[in-house]
Amino acid sequence: MLDFNFYNPTQIVFGQNRLGELDQMIPANAKVMIVYGGGSAKKYGTIDKVTSALGNRSVVEFGGVEANPEFDTLMKAVETAKSEKIDFLLAVGGGSVMDGTKFISLAMHYDKEASDILFHGFAGVPSSKATPLGCIVTLPATGSESNSFSVVTFNEQKYPVMSPLTFPKFSLLDPDFTITLPKEQIANGVADAFIHVIEQYLTMPVDARVQDRMAEGIMRTLIEVGQTTYNDNENLEARKNFMWSATTALNGIIGVGVPHDWTTHMIGHELTACFGIAHGRTLAIILPYLLKERKQNKRAKLLQYADRVWDLREGSEDERIEGAIAKTEEFFNSLDIVTNLTHYGIDDKGIEKVLSNMEKMGLTALSETQDLGLDVVKKILVSAK
């Protein structure tokens, strides 16, 4: 196992009918800005419930954060938050709203141009102050509710933003707030969470037994409850397990002390930036082809994955590996996610656009061994046609 530090200060409040506890989690004298998305939280009454749970606190609302949140929209929120002297931010939404709120919390105090926040990647934003924030999750998928990471779109590119200051103080996970999700968002969420686990697991063995078994447990759970939640909106226990899987997939715990390979995410982000395909869906398109391409590099872990996640123990090593990759793709297809680029209208010209964007973003040495260049990305994309 590799050395690691683990820090995750976010309090999780999980379960139905717990909104009343907001009162203890947000300072009584706080001036709160509720941040929400394109309108679902307003339309389905979540914002009204949240506002009433905030009691006598002074509350400002900022709506209109789009999926894949845009820098310009978030800067409007920053202006409002500064002029209203907001001292607590409350995100009510999915990954886009939670991520956007993290950016707002940093940008309210940043002493350089706010766009500079976007250019520090995984090294982290050099920032010493952020407005405290909490989250009310309406879409289980990204794990943003329990990590310090966010993704912001600027000039048609997606930029990763890291800062320990943006861990939410708390996140409330009530399955009732997710019941209005359209089916395709459930599918996207299941795929996103599953692939978060894969990218921290399917690399090379380092004898990290706790992390491996937790990762396998989350994946098996997602396989069990993903389809159930997708097909049966009333199944609350499945939905709860899906929600907690999505949080644990990216709250840092399974990723400590192990190599990571975020190649699928890096390619997926470009498919969203260039063609507007939803985040989770982009990953499901790419992953099966990436695994086929990197079969030799990931051989030992793929065999473990075949055995412990898909119960494939018969046949030759190659048969088991191919079987596990096929099962993975079938799992995404069972959620009605089509896993080829042509279906989304992406041709050779589109592939070239993705490659040139990745080059501009410096995404040229990817994978757990940093030897996956754009030539390999091209092979993956061409095979995904």
Name the residues that contact ligand NZQ, by CB under 6 A: 37-41, 67-68, 93-97, 99, 138-139, 141-144, 147, 149-151, 158, 177-178, 180-181, 185, 188, 192, 250, 265, 279-280
Q: Verify binding: residue 270, Zn ion, rule CB under 5 A.
A: no
Residue 348 contacts by C-beta under 8 Å, 6 or more apart in sequence? none
- Distance of alpha carbon 360 from alpha carbon 350, whole angstroms: 15
* Residue among 174 and 192 whose Cβ is closer to Zn ion: 192
For the chain, how far is it from start to end, CA to CA, in angstroms? Answer: 37
Which CB atom, from 153 or from 203, has the smaller least distance to ligand NZQ? Answer: 153
Query: Which one, 144 or 200, has the nearer CB to ligand NZQ?
Result: 144
Measured distance CA(358)–CA(100) in Å, rounded = 23
Pick between residue 190 and residue 306 the one whose CB is nearest to ligand NZQ: 190
Q: Which of Zn ion, ligand NZQ, none does 323 bind, CB closer than 5 to 8 A by kind? A: none
To Zn ion, the closest distance from the beta carbon of 354 in angstroms equals 17
Cβ nearer to ligand NZQ, comparing 41 with 277: 41
- Nearest distance in Å: CB 287, ligand NZQ: 13
Q: Which of residues 135-194 bind Zn ion (CB under 5 A)?
A: 192
Contacted entry of Zn ion, ligand NZQ, none for residue 151, CB cut-off 5 to 8 Å set by kind: ligand NZQ
Q: Which residues pair with 150 in a beta bridge?
A: 161
Would you call 76 helix, strand, or coil by DSSP? helix
Contacted entry of ligand NZQ, Zn ion, none for residue 178, CB cut-off 5 to 8 Å set by kind:
ligand NZQ
Given the DSSP bridges, would you call strands 11-14 and 170-173 parallel, antiparallel or unpaired?
parallel
Of the pair 99, 192, the CB lying nearest Zn ion is at 192
DSSP string covering 4-57, please? ------PEEEESSS-GGGHHHHS-TT-EEEEEE-SSHHHHTTHHHHHHHHTTTS
Size of the site for Zn ion (CB under 5 A): 1
| Amino acid symbol at 243 | M
Considering the complex, what minimum distance in angstroms separates the CB of residue 159 from ligand NZQ? 10
By the 10 Å C-beta count (0-12 exposed, 13-18 middle, 19+ buried), 254 is classed as buried
Q: Residue 13 corresponds to which tokens in the numbers above?
A: 């409040």
Residues that bind Zn ion (CB under 5 A): 192
